[in-house]
Amino acid sequence: MAAGAYVEFARRAFNRESVYRVQVFTSIGSILLRVFLMATLWTALYRTNGQQAGITLPGMITYVTLALVIGLIYNVDGAYVIREKIREGSIAIDLMRPISVPLYVFADTIGQTLFSMVQIIPALLLSLLIVHIQPPVNLVAAGAFVVSIGLGFLLNYFIDLIMATITFWTMEIFGVQIMVQFIVSLLSGALVPLALFPQGPLQRIVLALPFAGLYNDPISMYIGLISGSAIATHLVTQVVWVAVFGVFATVLWRIGERRVVVQGG
């Protein structure tokens, strides 16, 4: 199918999401409340324990604020439609259509994400009324931050696609998905910077995992924890992990797709 069709899928997803205007305000309100609570928590912790892992208090507040805002992008679960279609059995009809279902879902996810990015601007501006957010340390850090977020988006999509594809065999993955989301949040730096993990083998393992590229790496580049040649190293590592998860997701989808065809839908 022509690429224009997938662009149309993305546009429809954007328009669909824009219908729920009340949800926009509640989402932004939720972000602002969590920004205030996290800033208050870290301010109290720093007042008691001092600077942590070379991160200043303004740097930490910037980190947690950006993590909350970036969550608007990563929390889009476009692969949800696949799980529902598999459970309902309608996936067999989609597989007969002249489209790539994963590409359709990706286009739908892009549309939802673009709408979520519209919410990021007011969320950041309103956050400035509550906390002080530092600018990126330099232009290289700013550019690397954007590129790293893009790679993180692709990795997050492939993780969601893998989870959705597993539904071909299990029919229900809600419990597993909740567990995976918690583990990913912890190991990605969404909750706390990975620099705060105990130094030693544990920290090295966590930093080497693919999940670090979702939150920890891009925000660490932004605030200067990752700089110089280390930026290129981390970006290349992200590209490798995206390729690995992309290949695995594709292979798993092909196997699941054949499973449906063999069973006759």
DSSP secondary structure letters along 66-94: HHHHHHHHHT--TTHHHHHHHHHTTHHHH
Work out how many domains the chain is built from and give that number: 1
Q: Which of 16, 135, 17, 14 is nearest to 65 (CA)?
A: 135
The CA R_g of the chain, rounded to the nearest whole Å, is 20
Which distant-in-sequence residues (6+ apart) come within 8 Å of 42 by Cβ? 57, 60, 61, 64
Name the average pLDDT for the chain.
87
pLDDT grade, residue 239 (50/70/90)?
very high
Mean pLDDT of the 10-24 span:
80
pLDDT at position 263 over 50: no
Helix extents (H) in the chain:
3-18, 21-49, 57-74, 80-88, 91-96, 101-127, 139-165, 167-170, 174-188, 201-208, 216-223, 229-262
Which structural domain, as residue segments, surrounds residue 129?
Answer: 3-262
Cα separation of 130 and 165, whole Å?
Answer: 41
Q: Which one of 46-50, 126-130, 150-154, 168-172 scores highest in mean pLDDT?
A: 150-154
Mean pLDDT of the 221-229 span:
94
134-to-73, 129, 193 alpha-carbon distances in Å = 21, 13, 16
pLDDT at 95: 75
pLDDT at 2: 66
pLDDT grade, residue 250 (50/70/90)?
very high
55 has which bridge partners?
Answer: 52
Q: Map residue 49 onto helix, strand or coil.
A: helix
Q: Is 227 left (phi over 0), alpha (psi -120 to 50) or beta?
A: beta
pLDDT grade, residue 264 (50/70/90)?
very low
Q: Which of 230, 250, 223, 49 is nearest to 145 (CA)?
A: 223
Torsion over CA: 144, 147, 152, 158 (sign): negative
pLDDT at position 260 over 60: yes
Mean pLDDT of the 43-54 span:
86
pLDDT at 98: 76
Mean pLDDT of the 39-65 span:
90
pLDDT at position 265 over 50: no
pLDDT at position 235 over 60: yes
pLDDT at 13: 83
Tokens of 60: 């930490």
pLDDT at 256: 85
Neighbours of 157 (CB within 10 A): 25
